[in-house]
């Protein structure tokens, strides 16, 4: 029996509802597999916690998380009540940073049973691999002057170490996929950061002669996600470019509400964090109608990272069968409740395991 100690942070809004659903799916996966035992420890951190304690998590929160193997997060945010920079900076971005989760991975895959907003999508299956620790998000900058002369500077920092790390990850993932990596650049507009990014990509690729590589400007690449997503396999991108591309990826999949994400510490020195792309959706929270698929697909990504790729694919099978039989929540145009969706996913997983 392989034991896995997982820190669970349901967070705010629908996060508190969909996380327990995904845990049911993970328990089912463990049961089917036979050799996995999960140990869940739930932390009530987030905006509610903040309203009571004036901090999103206790001061030893990061230390506490370090003792777990992985982190399973729901959603964080109470727009209007807690300013974004607190809810993000005090939890999500803090964990990403302090636990050195320097790679963010988001699939954009057209699932069976999903309706893409694209007219005639050939089936596509893209993996957006995003640098998650520096680049455009580097907290370097400030303002000078007041009044009409005021200006703001923001500096992107790109290190060879971080660029190479995310590119190596992308290239090695591509070896188990369709062996093609597209690097997002903008060397014709950002004349310092992006030519550097391109140089590192060229250098790193040399060690992967079996992988076909392409560099594309972010503007053209964003358009390609809409025009011909099926030609893409793995896409490697800087922090900002990856953020934008993975949201377009969510859109062409038919809904950002089903998209999963992983923040990886690939060195496995600290826990990685798995979180759906969607937010806390306070407007529909507590009604039992939230779509659990984003969180369940996120659970699938955690299984992959734990090394259980077979059972992970059973979870994805369960999701797709449920979508195909049109058991969907309202956001996908259906009338099923959250629990009904989860139950069908679990039923399909069990049926597949027989």
Ligand X SMILES: CC(C)[C@H](C(=O)O)[C@@H](O)C(=O)O
DSSP 201-214: HHHHHTT-TTSEEE
Instruction: Report which DSSP code applies to 72.
Output: E
Please name the residues in contact with 171: beta carbons below 8 A apart, sequence gap of 6 or more.
181, 204, 205, 207, 208, 211, 213, 234, 236
- Assign residue 317 a region (left: φ > 0; alpha: ψ between -120 and 50; beta: otherwise): alpha
Q: Figure out which of the listed residues 191, 207, 231, 351 binds a second copy, where binding follows CB under 8 A.
A: 191
Residue with tokens 């969510």, as numbered in its chain: 250
Under the criterion CB under 8 A, does residue 308 sit at the interface with a second copy?
no
- Please identify, using beta-carbon distances, which residue of 75 and 311 lies nearer to ligand X: 75
CB 225 within 8 A of CB 237: no
Report d(CA 20, CA 17) in Å as an integer. 6
Choosing from 39, 139, 199, 219, the residue that interacts with ligand X (CB under 6 A) is 219
CA dist 7 and 99 (Å) reads 13
- The conformation of residue 54, written as its DSSP 8-state character, comes to S
Interface with ligand X in residues 311-340 (CB under 6 A): none
Choose among a second copy, ligand X, none what residue 210 binds, the Cβ cut-off being 5 to 8 Å by kind. Answer: none
Check if the beta carbon of residue 340 is closer than 8 Å to that of residue 347. no
Nearer of residues 29 and 218 to ligand X, judged by Cβ: 218
Q: Could you tell me which residues come within 8 angstroms of residue 200 by beta carbon, excluding any fewer than 6 positions away?
A: 160, 163, 164, 167
Binding residue for a second copy, selected from 24, 62, 196, 212, defined by CB under 8 A:
196
In terms of CB distance, is 205 or 291 closer to ligand X?
Answer: 291
Among 5, 62, 216, 251, binds a second copy (CB under 8 A): 251
Residue 136 touching ligand X (CB under 6 A)? no
- Which of positions 211-250 make contact with a second copy (CB under 8 A)? 218-220, 222-224, 226-227, 239-240, 243-244, 246-248, 250
Residues 226-255 that bind ligand X (CB under 6 A): 243
Q: Which of 58, 189, 195, 288 binds ligand X (CB under 6 A)?
A: 189
Q: Which is nearer to ligand X, 75 or 200 (CB)?
A: 75
- Which parts of this chain interact with ligand X (CB under 6 A)? 88, 188-189, 219, 243
- Which parts of this chain interact with a second copy (CB under 8 A)? 84-85, 88, 115-120, 136-137, 139-143, 147-161, 186-197, 218-220, 222-224, 226-227, 239-240, 243-244, 246-248, 250-252, 256
């Amino acid at each position: 029996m392989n034991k896995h100690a997982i820190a669970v942070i349901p967070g705010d809004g629908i996060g508190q509802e969909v996380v327990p659903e995904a845990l049911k799916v993970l328990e089912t996966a463990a049961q089917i597999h036979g050799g996995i035992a999960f140990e869940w420890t739930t932390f009530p951190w987030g905006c509610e916690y903040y309203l009571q304690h004036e901090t999103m998590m206790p001061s030893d929160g990061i230390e506490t998380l370090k003792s777990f193997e992985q982190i399973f997060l729901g959603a964080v945010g109470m727009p209007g009540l807690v300013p974004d920079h607190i809810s993000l900076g005090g939890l999500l971005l803090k964990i990403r940073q302090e636990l050195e989760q320097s790679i963010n991975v988001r699939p954009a895959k057209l699932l069976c049973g999903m309706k893409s907003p694209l007219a005639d999508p050939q089936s596509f299956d893209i993996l957006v691999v995003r640098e998650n620790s520096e680049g455009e998000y580097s907290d370097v900058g400030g303002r000078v002057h007041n009044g009409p002369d005021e200006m703001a500077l923001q500096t992107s920092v790109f290190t060879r170490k971080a660029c190479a790390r995310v590119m190596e990850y992308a290239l090695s993932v591509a070896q188990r996929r369709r062996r093609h990596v597209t690097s997002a650049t903008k060397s014709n507009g950002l004349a310092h950061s992006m030519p550097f990014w391109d140089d590192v990509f060229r250098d790193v690729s040399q060690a992967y002669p079996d992988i076909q590589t392409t560099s594309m400007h972010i503007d053209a690449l964003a358009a390609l996600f809409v025009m011909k997503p099926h030609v893409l396999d793995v896409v490697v991108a800087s922090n900002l470019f990856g953020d934008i591309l993975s949201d377009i990826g969510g859109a062409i999949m038919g809904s950002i509400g089903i998209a999963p994400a992983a923040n990886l510490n690939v060195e496995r020195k600290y826990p990685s964090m798995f979180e759906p792309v969607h937010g806390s959706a306070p407007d529909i929270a507590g009604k039992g109608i939230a779509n659990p698929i984003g969180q369940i697909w996120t659970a699938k990504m955690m299984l992959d990272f734990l090394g259980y790729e077979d059972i992970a694919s059973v979870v994805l099978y369960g999701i797709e069968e449920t979508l195909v039989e049109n058991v969907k929540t309202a956001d996908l145009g259906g009338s099923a409740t959250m629990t009904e969706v989860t139950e069908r996913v679990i039923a399909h997983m069990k049926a597949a395991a027989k």
